[in-house]
Structure 1
Amino acid sequence: MRRVNVLNISCYRFVELSDPHAVREALQARAVALELKGTVLLAHEGINLFLAGRAEQVRAFVAQLQEDRRFAGIAPKESWSATQPFKKMLVKVKGEIIRMNHPTVRPAEGRAPAVAAATVKRWLDQGHDDSGRPVVTLDTRNDFEVDAGSFEGAIDWRLTKFSEFPQALRAHQADLQGKTVVSFCTGGIRCEKAAILMRELGLDSVYQLEGGILKYFEEVGGAHYRGDCFVFDERRTLDAGLQVTAPATAAPAPARPPG
């Protein structure tokens, strides 16, 4: 049996960065010195990262990152693998850490309300939220990710990229009226922007799933979820126990965070 000794983390934080290029230089040097591989995206709106390496080195990187007050609240989601799922270490500055092409959505200025995994499970168990409103889950991921697995009955608008979400929302907004909407994605970043936009457009009972599917798996397992969770590295899919499964049968995707 192969030893599972590579720690994989994913996390993001929306925070105003006036100097993303300066941050890039520091993080690139630190990650290389710690022999980490993966992808870090930086923009004026924050940071989005996927890293893997030996546990003590990954956690040393996170500890140093948290010493910067801008990243003090960052909380990585962890999983393990037998091999390094990334080929190299990339730190890039982008226009957005997750591309939506909707400049009025600025999560650094205020998050949409988030709901914990245990609460989502309870709502799905009982079929309604604590006020008696019907609950729907809205998958904000790309179509090939949804095909690998999703929540039972989740709304799926067959997005091919996240920047299509605003147009899809406008086309289907009436279907969401009067319902409690829980938006979700892999790790939380897309569903956070999605929830802010939904509230901006007038939907009054919208939440993001805190930490996304990976945090849901970590905290409550696979209840109400069918299939696996696609991840943007060479592992491709994880089951509800955060273990690597067979490669997704859907169309292949680049080993990078979605944009």
Structure 2
Amino acid sequence: MAHYQTLLYYCYSPIEHAEQFAADHLEFCKSLNLVGRIIVADEGLNGTVSGTPESCAAYMLAVHADPRFTKTEFKIDDVEELSFIKMHCRYKSEIVHSGLRDPQIIDPNKQTGVHLEPKDFLAMKDQEDVVVLDVRSNYEHNVGHFKNAVRLDIENFREFPEKIKELAQYKGKKILTYCTGGIKCEKASALLLKEGFEDVYQLHGGIIKYGKEVGGEDFEGKCYVFDNRVTVDVNSVNPAIVSTCRNCGTVTPKMINCANPVCNEHFTQCDACGEELDGCCSTACLEAPNRRTYDGTGYYVKVPQPVNIEKISKRKHKNFPAKEIAEEA
């Protein structure tokens, strides 16, 4: 029996004084003994948190009790160990970095692609007039993707807008977008519509929900996640491994971060090469002076960086209203 849960969620909903909210929300999460990573922006929330079932239930109740976040949908995983080591809640310009910050241009609350439930996505994805589009980064889709999906060569989602011109050949077809939990598709599908694509859809709840509800059929490989699990299994119907070791080419589903913190590249590596290179992506990184100790997982606590004084904001703390609700749960 799993001792903990991990919650994946997002919500596009305007937050006034979002920077202060982030500071208050961090203290609230700590009061529930949660660990995880939450991004707060003026446009909403994007988070993954982990804790006991009781703490997770209290957190979900509190979030749903806030009128701004009642529509938030949580994907819940039962896990044997906590999926993070610490709790972070940070204010940023966007809840997923796309470079599309102007709500007058792209606003997921006003226009997105048609949301397809997993069963409907499954029914549509192999139709002749359909193109399945992966909107994630290279390191994500290299370790796992839908069979026959179009995958863009991007290192970060912020590169997606400039890649749309490469998709012009698919205008006139139905475009089915997908990502890990659905958040990237909200803006990706909206931008496709703005650029003249008429039939645009998105997998509601992303790969994670697809795996839970329809068994992950035809998703090949593993799904990259942004916590210390690194990747998770999705397909229980017709699973396959599609990734190979960067160093020797052996088929492997294992993905790690380079042990050299300056590099920190996400890449797939077999256990044999991991042992030989001590978790590094290359012999050059193996010689790095500040190389981290490789324990076989390839997941590391973020190395603290020098403080940038100019980015520090003075905050006046106030109570997070939902805290009392959670404590009563």
TM-score normalised by length of structure 1: 0.89
Give the match for residue 92 of structure 2: 94
Equivalent-residue separation in structure 2 for 1:176 and 1:113 (angstroms): 17
Give the match for residue 144 of structure 2: 149
Q: 1:239 to 1:212 in 2, by over 3 A?
A: same
Give the match for residue 19 of structure 2: 21
Deviations 1:166-204, CA, capped at 9 Å, x for gaps:
00112x132211211111100000111100000001100
Matching of residue 248 in structure 1 with residue 255 in structure 2: yes
Q: 1:82 to 1:247 in 2, by over 3 A?
A: farther
Note the C-alpha offset of 1:25. Answer: 2.9
Do 2:221 and 2:253's aligned partners in 1 also have CA atoms closer than 8 Å?
Answer: no
Equivalent-residue separation in structure 1 for 2:179 and 2:93 (angstroms): 21
Gapped regions of structure 1 (runs ≥ 5): none
Do 2:134 and 2:177's aligned partners in 1 also have CA atoms closer than 8 Å?
Answer: yes
Do 1:36 and 1:89's aligned partners in 2 also have CA atoms closer than 8 Å?
Answer: yes
TM-score normalised by length of structure 2: 0.70
Note the C-alpha offset of 1:246. Answer: 6.0
Give the match for residue 12 of structure 1: 10
Deviations 1:128-158, CA, capped at 9 Å, x for gaps:
2xxxx61111111110110111000100112
Question: SS of 1:121's equivalent?
Answer: helix
Deviations 1:6-54, CA, capped at 9 Å, x for gaps:
1001100111112212322331121101100001111111110100000
Equivalent-residue separation in structure 2 for 1:13 and 1:109 (angstroms): 14
Correspondence list, 1:15-94, <5 A: 15-94=13-92
Give the match for residue 164 of structure 1: 159
Note the C-alpha offset of 1:219. Answer: 0.7
- In the alignment, residue 40 of structure 1 is paired with which amino acid? I
Give the match for residue 140 of structure 1: 135
Matching of residue 112 in structure 1 with residue 113 in structure 2: yes
Gapped regions of structure 2 (runs ≥ 5): 237-251, 258-264, 268-298, 302-329
- In the alignment, residue 158 of structure 2 is paired with which amino acid? S
Q: 1:110 to 1:255 in 2, by over 3 A?
A: farther
Larger-gyration structure (1/2): 2
Correspondence list, 1:113-132, <5 A: 113-124=114-125, 127-128=126-127
- In the alignment, residue 236 of structure 1 is paired with which amino acid? V
Correspondence list, 1:202-221, <5 A: 202-221=196-215
Equivalent-residue separation in structure 2 for 1:150 and 1:77 (angstroms): 19
- In the alignment, residue 113 of structure 1 is paired with which amino acid? V
Note the C-alpha offset of 1:241. Answer: 6.0
Note the C-alpha offset of 1:255. Answer: 7.7
RMSD: 2.1
After TM superposition, where is structure 1 displaced by more than 4 Å over at least 4 residues in a row? Answer: 253-256
- In the alignment, residue 144 of structure 2 is paired with which amino acid? G
Do 1:14 and 1:45's aligned partners in 2 also have CA atoms closer than 8 Å?
Answer: yes
Note the C-alpha offset of 1:109. Answer: 3.3
Do 1:11 and 1:50's aligned partners in 2 also have CA atoms closer than 8 Å?
Answer: yes
Give the match for residue 193 of structure 2: 199
Question: SS of 1:50's equivalent?
Answer: strand
Give the match for residue 168 of structure 2: 174
Question: SS of 1:217's equivalent?
Answer: helix
Q: How many residues of Structure 1 are paired with residues of Structure 2 in the alignment?
A: 245
Do 2:36 and 2:84's aligned partners in 1 also have CA atoms closer than 8 Å?
Answer: yes
User: Identity over the aligned pairs, expressed in percent?
Assistant: 29
- Larger RCO (alpha carbons 8 Å, 6+ apart): 1
Matching of residue 234 in structure 1 with residue 232 in structure 2: no
Do 1:232 and 1:255's aligned partners in 2 also have CA atoms closer than 8 Å?
Answer: no
Equivalent-residue separation in structure 2 for 1:255 and 1:154 (angstroms): 31
